Amino acid sequence: PARYFDTKTTEPISFFLSGLEELLSWQPNSNDEFNVSAVPLAERQPPLQSRRPRTLVCHDMRGGYLEDRFIQGSATRNPYVFYHWRYIDIFVYFSHHTVTIPPVVWTNAAHRNSVPVLGTFITEWTDGEKLCEAFLAAGEEAYGAVAEQLARIAQHYRFDGWLVNIENTLSAAAVGNLPLFLRDLTARVHSAVPGGLVIWYDSVLKNGTLKWQNELNDENRIFFDSCDGLFTNYNWKEEQLERTQQLAGPRQNDIYVGVDVFARGDVIGGGFNTDKSLRLIRQYGLSAAIFAPGWVYEHLGKENFLQNENRFWGLLAEYLPTHSICTLPLTTSFCLGMGTSTFLDGKDEGSGPWYDLSAQDVQPLYPEQQGTLSTSCCLQDAWCGGSSLKLQGTIPPGEERVAVRLFSLQMPAPPKLFLTLLYKLEGAQPDDFTVALEVTTWDSGICFEGNPTSLPEPNGRYHPRFLPAPPPSLAKLLAACHRGSHGWTSRCYELELQDCSLRDLSVIVSRQQPSPQETSFTCLLGEVRVSSCHCLVETPAPVPPLLREGGW
């Protein structure tokens, strides 16, 4: 069937639903099993519902369902990818189809990085008025059927809820039932999907008029009170933030203030000035909804996308509370879910370009220190998948080392940790440096709900003991590096801990000899593993698209 399989290639694809009839007639069937997410939502700390401002990203790119619709990947060169997952809390896949079911590749990548994914239910224009009249004005049975189907769809495909966007005027009967529909939908989603969410977009008013308010007020509060959050329109001013904060009261974190990165209309910031919007929003303790950050890709072009993407999110980082990993084992080869080729055990398999977000690995923080450190993705060399993590920086005169914080952790420390690291030093004199891991800790029982990037210093700092002869199971994992390293170095470490909680995992790049000169370095990280026992179960690397006859 054309909905489930591409008519040109017969490959399975992600799809949307158009209109009320398609929504109400939807049933699970064997053709769409490819679209069910295979990756559970990873746990995180602090939990999503913690009392701190959140960051929602709303992805809207050229109508949606582009190369990301191919569930088994494609041979796309220079695709759009998102990988700053540690800095955001909710991901919305947006399109103008009535029922936007997020492509499963996005759900897999987001879930692996602890971020819930919402689809979009939208009605617009004259057709939207007719649709709303049919299911809202018709009464409880009609709107209940729509709510039930939306909850079933989220449950079946294993994404996490809905953004509801009614952008057309409503009759008195329809708008009278709208809060009841939202309450019903929210209750059904909460029941069907653990941690499920329903968020309302700032559009129609309680009298049925379509008039964007750019704030929470008495005209739209009834809808906010009926669901999990409000996503405001983008043309707000500071006084509206102040009023919104006061009216929201203890639910101020459930207000997602809209920020259009394309800066359409009378807005504050946008583009590389989006930090101006975020600064104001955070002053009032409100959450933010960053709309269309694909501006970086669409407006600035594909060629320098990764560099521009790091710049864009780097400018926002101080306003984006991050979330921490809270379970072990942790395994990543830093793959973005795309590449110019595929690497296996450090060897370039010569496959050509590929794109499959389901193959994206757990992503790190991307710390930047102006002039002294940059963290970026390297497509030219990798240990496994399509990319490695490139650390470039300088060790200042008189100092011996630089610490690069990769992951924020928040969990009780096990009695013993085993860690493995695969890396490659580049440059004229790689033997001048050593590379190692560092683990920091808190006292046991300390729990912080704030921004892990702005917490006080940890009270324990450990350099795990290097194991020249790793335990057999770890040795097996590292054997490929010894057989044919292609310039990669493997290291295994052991760390014994007691009565403390894990806080950070960092990489330390050190000089072999003290120097009064500034020293530059480039280090590629190919893989990091952290486990609480030496009997590591080998975690299979996310698999790029299958190699078929004739190419990818």
pLDDT confidence bin for 456, thresholds 50/70/90: low
Interatomic CA distance for residues 536 and 538, integer angstroms:
6
Q: Decide: residue 443, CB within 10 A, 0-12 exposed, 13-18 middle, 19+ buried.
A: exposed
339 occurs within a structural domain: yes
pLDDT confidence bin for 445, thresholds 50/70/90: low
pLDDT above 60 for 544: no
481 to 202, 406, 517, 529, 542: CA distances (angstroms):
54, 22, 33, 14, 19
- Is 288 found in the same domain as 185? yes
Q: Decide: residue 315, CB within 10 A, 0-12 exposed, 13-18 middle, 19+ buried.
A: middle
pLDDT confidence bin for 283, thresholds 50/70/90: very high
pLDDT above 80 for 17: yes
Interatomic CA distance for residues 219 and 416, integer angstroms:
57
Which helix (DSSP H) or strand (DSSP E) does residue 440 occupy? strand 433-443
Reduced to 3 states (helix: H, G, I; strand: E, B; else coil), residue 181 is helix
Split into its structural domains, the chain has a count of: 2
The share of the chain scoring above pLDDT 90, in percent, equals 83
**Which neighbouring-strand residues pair with 369?**
373
Interval 162-189 mean pLDDT: 98
pLDDT confidence bin for 120, thresholds 50/70/90: very high
- Is 163 found in the same domain as 306? yes
- Is 381 found in the same domain as 317? no
Count of other CB atoms within 10 angstroms of residue 339: 25
Interatomic CA distance for residues 242 and 284, integer angstroms:
7
DSSP character string of 344-384: ETTEE-----EE-GGGPPPP-----BTTTEEEEEESS--SE
**Which neighbouring-strand residues pair with 229?**
199
Interval 161-165 mean pLDDT: 98
Interatomic CA distance for residues 307 and 310, integer angstroms:
5
Instruction: Please give the structure tokens belonging to residue 359.
Output: 């193959």
Question: Greatest CA span in the chain, whole angstroms?
Answer: 79
pLDDT score recorded for residue 534 = 47
Residue 255: give its domain's CATH number.
3.20.20.80
Nearest one of 411, 417, 451 to 437, comparing CA atoms: 417
The pLDDT tens digits for 419-428 are 999 999 997 6
187 occurs within a structural domain: yes
- Is 376 found in the same domain as 268? no
pLDDT confidence bin for 547, thresholds 50/70/90: very low
Backbone angles phi, psi at 309, to 5 degrees: -65, -45
- Is 361 found in the same domain as 289? no
User: Which one-letter amino acid corresponds to residue 222?
Assistant: I
Interval 9-37 mean pLDDT: 95
305 versus 446: which is more confidently predicted? Answer: 305
pLDDT score recorded for residue 34 = 93
pLDDT confidence bin for 369, thresholds 50/70/90: confident
The dihedral sign for the CA sequence 65, 68, 71, 73: positive
- Is 247 found in the same domain as 285? yes
- Is 334 found in the same domain as 189? no
User: Which one-letter amino acid corresponds to residue 402?
Assistant: V
- Is 366 found in the same domain as 280? no
453 versus 148: which is more confidently predicted? Answer: 148
pTM score of the predicted model: 0.94
Residue 497: give its domain's CATH number.
2.60.120.260
488 to 305, 352, 509, 526: CA distances (angstroms):
27, 22, 15, 8
**Which neighbouring-strand residues pair with 290?**
57, 259
pLDDT score recorded for residue 432 = 86
489 occurs within a structural domain: yes
The pLDDT tens digits for 310-360 are 999 999 999 999 999 999 999 999 999 999 999 999 999 988 999 999 999
Interatomic CA distance for residues 377 and 353, integer angstroms:
15
3 occurs within a structural domain: no
pLDDT above 50 for 535: no
Count of other CB atoms within 10 angstroms of residue 250: 7
Among 288, 321, 354, where does a domain finish? Answer: 321
- Is 334 found in the same domain as 388? yes
SS (H, E, C) 533-546: CCCCCCCCCCCCCC
Nearest one of 176, 197, 171, 184 to 144, comparing CA atoms: 184
1 occurs within a structural domain: no
Instruction: Please give the structure tokens belonging to residue 160.
Output: 């996490």
Interatomic CA distance for residues 36 and 27, integer angstroms:
13
Helices in 409-501 by DSSP H: which ranges?
472-483
Q: Rounded to the nearest 5 degrees, what angle is found at the Cα of 113, between the Cα atoms of 53 and 415?
A: 100
Which helix (DSSP H) or strand (DSSP E) does residue 422 occupy? strand 416-426
Which helix (DSSP H) or strand (DSSP E) does residue 310 occupy? helix 305-316
Quick one: DSSP state of residue 319?
Answer: G
**CA 444 remoteness from chain centre:** 29
Tell me the angle at which helices 274-283 and 238-248 cross, rounded to the nearest 10 degrees: 40
Given a contact cutoff of 8 angstroms between Cβ atoms, the answer to whether 4 and 15 are in contact is: yes
| Domain that includes residue 412, residue range | 330-532
Instruction: Please give the structure tokens belonging to residue 537.
Output: 């179960």
Instruction: Please give the structure tokens belonging to residue 152.
Output: 């079933």
Interatomic CA distance for residues 382 and 378, integer angstroms:
7
- Is 342 found in the same domain as 420? yes
Among 298, 321, 344, where does a domain finish? Answer: 321
Helices in 375-489 by DSSP H: which ranges?
472-483
- Is 284 found in the same domain as 341? no
pLDDT confidence bin for 391, thresholds 50/70/90: very high
Among 256, 291, 321, where does a domain finish? Answer: 321
Interval 484-499 mean pLDDT: 89
Q: What is the mean pLDDT of the chain?
A: 92
Nearest one of 211, 151, 213, 218 to 181, comparing CA atoms: 151
Residue with tokens 């009298």, as numbered in its chain: 207
- Is 339 found in the same domain as 270? no
pLDDT confidence bin for 172, thresholds 50/70/90: very high
55 occurs within a structural domain: yes
28 occurs within a structural domain: yes
256 occurs within a structural domain: yes
Residue with tokens 């690995």, as numbered in its chain: 361
